[in-house]
A and B are shown apart, each in its own frame.
Chain A
């Protein structure tokens, strides 16, 4: 059979039949793996909602924990406040630095300078958070004591590569033609960056920041080392003076302490955290969607 018979029916034959089976199998495996990701997320959210959702009440969100360790009632208001304060301070620290890093990388750095800095950001991104926490612990806490500010510093270090990376990506998406147009009008590089490039990339910057906030809101290792010694029954705003109660440590504490009442509360706190993270992600997606629409007109 030297040559093919081009006139026979156009159905699969020979090893094409086997290739089609392999094709189906691989496609099935890939689809199953993709579904697994959705299922895992779904199961986790379901489990947390089922166990934590029942804890949720106005009191749970607005009251502090009871004075007695295993007493029923009370809530996690002070932990929510503490977490919000520390994450906010971390964002205030990390956002300008992260954006400036991204500006340097995309607008000013030569390829030779950008390489090592990108590598450093990637390594920082992959740094175990417990290592960052112990670094801050050794550098600042030992001999001084814990404060919410130190925990914020650790969170800021975790946020930095995230913000720098997402900002850099959205700055890089701004067409070179826009910078050229601005330069051709006799506008300096920095004014171009502030007036054209950053506004064009703002959606991406905000999105990246929200995702970074969502990521560090549940960051636990820094809290264990840097914000764990506190009177967890009081509300404190003294972020520079003392360790603040916070949600991740509260979950850890309640779950560790045993007793059905406390474990149930731990689920409740976990539920609050998950809802926050999910909402933050959806907001980020919506903003991202809007900003890409803005860039393409209308």
Chain B
């Protein structure tokens, strides 16, 4: 799982640069001088495609919500989706593990494949999809159970009963939470702080050994210190998982993601719909965007 030793508490994170990459490039962050994850320090990005979206449009009833999104998401990378509110980034994210199925008016056109399998083909079981593609939500949502049971419950149901204690410990270590909770595994998860709860939710997701983690604004309800520890954690997690993160926070995308997709609202033709404006390496999006709209957004001129 993690190749770093997880001995830090989240409160010590601010004392040190929160990742080696940042320390090399931009120790001080001015509001608009956006630091970008430096790609030369990264392991060479693998090109294996996990998700392949071709001309994906999403409708809610008759209303077109997102139009014509095409993008590839690569394995063991962090892909960020940014853009103003209502531009459909969360809709696209939730389409990747079929969390939108519960919305009865939801309809998706185009092709959305995962490792070459059409996610929306008939015969695809949404439960099986989510078994492989986990999700962390905007607000931490631990179950009203003990810390241990929060992690152990799903593996038990999914038949991964052997060495459950080890599995729980491994998941909590993987989410950099073990040292903080190892002495109170039987206490309620609701007694944890917001940042701890969110890391618990990440631990819960990785306990069932998924392939992909979708993160829907995972830090929006957290304070800066907790946010830094989650961002740190994401850097560790990408060694084992493919991560897709939706964020309102441009700096966050710049800090954590190799690839960034910029979504925006298109109001031409009297219809408001989300579109994918530009998708490229994060450095390109933030320093040399090809599209004027991207430039306006990342330089803070709108949104």
Give A contacts to B, CB under 8 Å: 110, 175, 177-178, 180-188, 191, 195-196, 199-200, 294-298
Q: Which residues of B contact A200 (CB under 8 A)?
A: 143-144
Q: Which residues of A contact B154 (CB under 8 A)?
A: 182, 185-187
Proximity bits, B111-146, A CB within 8 Å = 1, else 0: 000000000000000011111101101010111110
Asked if residues A185 and B204 are in contact (CB atoms below 8 Å), the reply is yes
Q: Contacts A184-B205, A185-B208 known; A191 to B137 CB distance under 8 Å? A: no
CB-defined A-B contacts under 8 Å, sample of 7: A181-B141, A184-B135, A186-B130, A186-B158, A186-B208, A187-B158, A195-B157
Once the chains are docked, how many angstroms separate the CA of A294 from the CA of B191?
Answer: 11
Q: Which residues of B contact A187 (CB under 8 A)?
A: 127, 154, 157-158
Once the chains are docked, how many angstroms separate the CA of A199 from the CA of B201?
Answer: 19
Smallest beta-carbon distance B151→chain A, Å: 10
Q: Which residues of A contact B104 (CB under 8 A)?
A: 110
Proximity bits, B181-208, A CB within 8 Å = 1, else 0: 0000000101100000000010011001
Give B contacts to A, CB under 8 Å: 97, 99, 102, 104, 127-132, 134-135, 137, 139, 141-145, 153-154, 157-158, 188, 190-191, 201, 204-205, 208
Asked if residues A180 and B144 are in contact (CB atoms below 8 Å), the reply is no
Asked if residues B97 and A196 are in contact (CB atoms below 8 Å), the reply is no
Smallest beta-carbon distance B173→chain A, Å: 19
Q: A178-B143, A181-B204 are in contact. List 16 more A-B contacts (CB 8 A).
A: A177-B137, A178-B144, A181-B137, A181-B141, A181-B143, A184-B99, A184-B137, A185-B131, A185-B154, A186-B132, A186-B154, A187-B154, A187-B158, A188-B127, A195-B157, A297-B191
Asked if residues A185 and B205 are in contact (CB atoms below 8 Å), the reply is yes
Asked if residues A183 and B191 are in contact (CB atoms below 8 Å), the reply is no
Once the chains are docked, how many angstroms separate the CA of A180 from the CA of B145?
Answer: 16
Once the chains are docked, how many angstroms separate the CA of A177 from the CA of B139?
Answer: 8
Asked if residues B143 and A186 are in contact (CB atoms below 8 Å), the reply is no
Q: Which residues of B contact A180 (CB under 8 A)?
A: 99, 135, 137, 141
Asked if residues A184 and B157 are in contact (CB atoms below 8 Å), the reply is no
Once the chains are docked, how many angstroms separate the CA of A296 from the CA of B128?
Answer: 31
A186, A199, A200 pick with most chain B CB within 10 angstroms: A186
Q: Contacts A177-B139, A181-B204, A297-B188 known; A186 to B144 CB distance under 8 Å? A: no
Q: Which residues of B contact A296 (CB under 8 A)?
A: 190
Q: Which residues of B contact A110 (CB under 8 A)?
A: 104
Q: Which residues of A contact B143 (CB under 8 A)?
A: 178, 181-182, 196, 200
Q: Which residues of B contact A178 (CB under 8 A)?
A: 141, 143-144
Asked if residues B99 and A183 are in contact (CB atoms below 8 Å), the reply is yes
A177, A181, A187 pick with most chain B CB within 10 angstroms: A181
- Interface of A (DSSP majority class): helix
Smallest beta-carbon distance B102→chain A, Å: 8
Once the chains are docked, how many angstroms separate the CA of A26 from the CA of B191?
Answer: 45
Q: Contacts A185-B154, A191-B157, A195-B157 known; A175 to B141 CB distance under 8 Å? A: yes
Once the chains are docked, how many angstroms separate the CA of A177 from the CA of B201?
Answer: 12
Once the chains are docked, how many angstroms separate the CA of A188 from the CA of B158?
Answer: 10
Q: Which residues of A contact B141 (CB under 8 A)?
A: 175, 177-178, 180-181
Once the chains are docked, how many angstroms separate the CA of A188 from the CA of B142?
Answer: 18
Kindly report which residue of chain B lies nearest to residue A296, judged by CB atoms.
Answer: B190
Once the chains are docked, how many angstroms separate the CA of A187 from the CA of B142?
Answer: 15
Smallest beta-carbon distance A205→chain B, Å: 15
Q: Which residues of B contact A185 (CB under 8 A)?
A: 130-131, 134, 154, 158, 204-205, 208
Once the chains are docked, how many angstroms separate the CA of A196 from the CA of B154?
Answer: 11
Smallest beta-carbon distance A262→chain B, Å: 53
Kindly report which residue of chain A lies nearest to residue B134, judged by CB atoms.
Answer: A184
Smallest beta-carbon distance B40→chain A, Å: 35
Q: Contacts A186-B128, A186-B130, A186-B131 known; A181 to B201 CB distance under 8 Å? A: yes
Q: Contacts A181-B201, A183-B99, A187-B157 known; A294 to B137 CB distance under 8 Å? A: no
Can you list the 7 inter-chain pairs with the closest CB atoms, starting with the nearest? A186-B131, A297-B190, A184-B135, A177-B141, A185-B154, A186-B130, A181-B141
Smallest beta-carbon distance B18→chain A, Å: 27
Q: Which residues of A contact B188 (CB under 8 A)?
A: 297-298
Once the chains are docked, how many angstroms separate the CA of A297 from the CA of B192?
Answer: 9
Q: In the complex, which of the residues B97, B142, B158 contacts A184, with contact meaning CB atoms closer than 8 Å?
A: B97
Smallest beta-carbon distance A144→chain B, Å: 46
Once the chains are docked, how many angstroms separate the CA of A185 from the CA of B150?
Answer: 11
Q: Which residues of A contact B201 (CB under 8 A)?
A: 181
Asked if residues A186 and B127 are in contact (CB atoms below 8 Å), the reply is yes
Once the chains are docked, how many angstroms separate the CA of A293 from the CA of B201?
Answer: 22
Smallest beta-carbon distance B217→chain A, Å: 13
Once the chains are docked, how many angstroms separate the CA of A182 from the CA of B149?
Answer: 13
